[in-house]
Amino acid sequence: MARTPIIAGNWKMNKGTAAEASALAQEVVAAVAEKSGVTVIVCPPYTVLHTVRGAVEGSTVKLGAQDAFWKTTGAYTSQVSAEMLKDAGVGYVILGHSETRGRFGVPEPEETIKHYGETDATVNLKVKAVIAAGLVPIICIGETLDEREAGKTDLVVSSQVAGALTGVTTEQAPKLVFAYEPVWAIGTGKVCDPTEANRVCGIVRQTVRSLYGVEVADSVRVQYGGSMKPDNAAELLSQPHIDGGLIGGAALKAADFAAIINAA
């Protein structure tokens, strides 16, 4: 089954002023104006969603958010619901990123790591809330360096995929997007060997197949994330199980982001 490539830019806590966000979004729109056959998404900080929405409106570039809460309303200070994001023009939501799980490629200080409390259970609640709001979740999974060296990569990845999908129906599953991001390659400049990245993305698809069958597994798109750049994008994106990229640092420069889109 042919799957449309999907490239998403995760701006993280960058380009957070209206001027910065508008400038980058407009550059991305201009850079991809003539491109077709690929889904392009930008995921800015919450504070500039409205600004970026205006900048991409009328273009093929889609608006995404970096997280969502699983409740619709209530006494949840600082949280943002999927319904709020939908009203802001968001179509895609990154969920379960290693940084919200407290799993960092570059170690975080011991005294602050507890701030990041994401678990497979909360990711699952968010996935179901985002689907209920009519948005598309981009579900992040990936192993730490210690887990890889201990030979636990496949177990960690398959467990995270299965955990995120509890209660998700066969009808809902085909629209999901997964992003395999080896934690040790995020923000470190290290990149997973393309053949190995493809193998692990295949584990993601295999897990989906075990839960929903071949047809659903063949339709789900799986991104690779973790130091994807213009100089390695083509080789990564040529792998049969890799359908796109969740891009961090390279998404902050329109020319680099466009080069990755071209490779897709």
The annotated binding site for substrate is made up of 10-12, 187, 227, 248-249
Burial status of residue 36 (CB atoms within 10 A of its CB: 0-12, 13-18, 19 or more) = exposed
Closest CA to 13 of 100, 113, 117, 142: 100
The binding site comprises 10-12, 187, 227, 248-249
What's the maximum distance between 2 C-alpha atoms anywhere in the chain? Answer: 48
User: Catalytic pick from 83, 97, 143, 241?
Assistant: 97
* Structure-token match 């329109």, residue found: 254
Active site residue 97: yes
Q: Which residues are catalytic?
A: 97, 181
